[in-house]
Each structure stands twice: as structure tokens, then as C-alpha cells.
Amino acid sequence: MPKIKPPVRTPHIDMTPMVDLFSVLLIFLLLTASFRPQEAAVITTPQSVSEKTAPDADLMTIFIAKDGKVYFNIDNGRDTSTHFRSKLLEKIGEQYKIQFTKAEIAKFGTMSSFGLPIKDLKTWLNTKETKEKDKLQTGIPMDSTDNQLAWWVREARLTNVGAEVAIKGDADTDYKLVKKVMDLLQDNKVNKFNLVTNLQKQEVTMKDLPPAAK
């Protein structure tokens, strides 16, 4: 009976199936993550300590870029069969007496944010070149004679009654422009806004209290 057992070699586990599993998981995640559609303008939002997230559906967003251009976006609803965007385009077409073809309405239903006067909508939907499309995006007019943003907001709220409103403004836009948008929204009986911000935590505790004045 041997007193000293031969040294036990540690078993080598073959990791190849594990790698296979991980690859499958990774590919699954990559494919199911949907790409965010290209936004109309680059906007750097201001920072805030707020940690609440925006609702991902039933949301209409008003973008305000640094140069004052205003863009608008609305999603198709939590259940995409409600086709809010298509209905909205039809309503706007009726309002402004523009006839949109079924193809144009369908295309609009799949796109995202836009910012152009309504008269340019038909040309924009039919242009194929992205550069041409971007040139047409001059912002939604908000002047008192033809307040198109007001129409978009009003018809969007009538189309999707439960939609919330988000305002994504650039940090350096003039506040008076943002105020104009907020006044417009309040005229449409919207009093609760979600302002899109970047999260930046600030820790303020009782130590930061200034000494009480005697």
C-alpha cells in the first residue's frame, strides 16, 4: 500500500462550449438591441441631478437646438399597431390642405424626429439623398402668423391623448425661446414637462450647511 499517493493533476476543464454559449448570448443581445434613429440635430442637454428616466413610449419630444431651430418627434405608441405618426400626418395634411400618398404616410410612420415647415414635408419625404433631406430641415416655424409647432402639438395630443411631453433643449439656447415653447404647451393645457438632462450627481449633506447666523 503506497504511503505517498502520486500527485493529483488538476483536471483541465475544456472551456470551448462555454465560449460558444457566451458568443450566442452576445449575438442575441447585439441583435435585439435596436439602433436609435438618427436625431435631426446634435443637442447637448444641460446637467441635472434628476435620476428619473423618460417614458420610452407615448412620448412627444420637442427639440430646441442652439441656433433656435425647433424639431419635433412622436412615437407610434406602446403598441405600434396604433400608428400614431401616420394618423398625425393625415390630420396635419387635412389641416393644411395637402394630400399625402399612402407611401408617404407609411414612410413617415417609420421615421423619427423632423424639423421643417409643413409645405416642405412632401418634398422631404420623397427625397432619397440624406444630404438633400438635411438641407430641407430648417426648423418648425413658430411665428405668430403661422405657428406650426402649435398645430403639431395640438394634433399630436388629439391623436394620442395620454402622451407626455419632453423638451430636449441645448444648454446654450436662449431661455426666451424655451419659454416660448413652454407657453405654447401651456396654451395647449400641458403643465407637466419632462426636461431631458444629463445625470450629474451632487452630494449635498448637512455638513454643507453654512454656520447659522447668530
Partner 1 sequence: MAEIIQEEKGKKGGKRRPKKQSTRIDMTPMVDLMCLLITFFMLTTAFSKAKVMVITMPDKENKDDKDKNQPQIAAFRTLNIILSEGDKVYYYIGMADPKKPPLPMLVKTNFSKDGIRKVLLDKNRDLFTKISEYRDKRVTGKIVVSDTTLDSEIKRMKRDDKKGPIVLIKADEKAKYKDIVNIIDEMAICNIASYAIVDINSVEKDMLKNAPK
Which spans of this chain sit near partner 1 (rule: CB under 8 A)?
12, 14-16, 18-19, 22-23, 25-26, 29-30, 33, 36, 45-54, 56, 64, 166, 168-179, 182-183, 186-187, 191-199, 202, 204-206, 208-210, 212-213
Closer CB to partner 1, 32 or 81, in the complex:
32
Q: What is the spatial distance between Cα 208 and Cα 22, in angstroms, rounded to a whole number? A: 48
Euclidean distance between CA atoms 178 and 196, whole angstroms: 13
Q: Closest separation between CB of residue 52 and partner 1, Å?
A: 6
Largest CA distance in the chain: 105
| CA atoms of 108 and 125, how far apart (whole Å) | 7
- Least CB distance from residue 173 to partner 1, whole Å? 5
- Cell for 191? 403643465
The residue count for the chain: 214
Strand 59-64 and strand 164-169: the pairing is parallel
- Cβ at position 91, least distance to partner 1 in Å: 25
Closer Cβ to partner 1, 2 or 211, answer by number: 211
Nearest distance from C-beta of residue 96 to partner 1, angstroms: 27
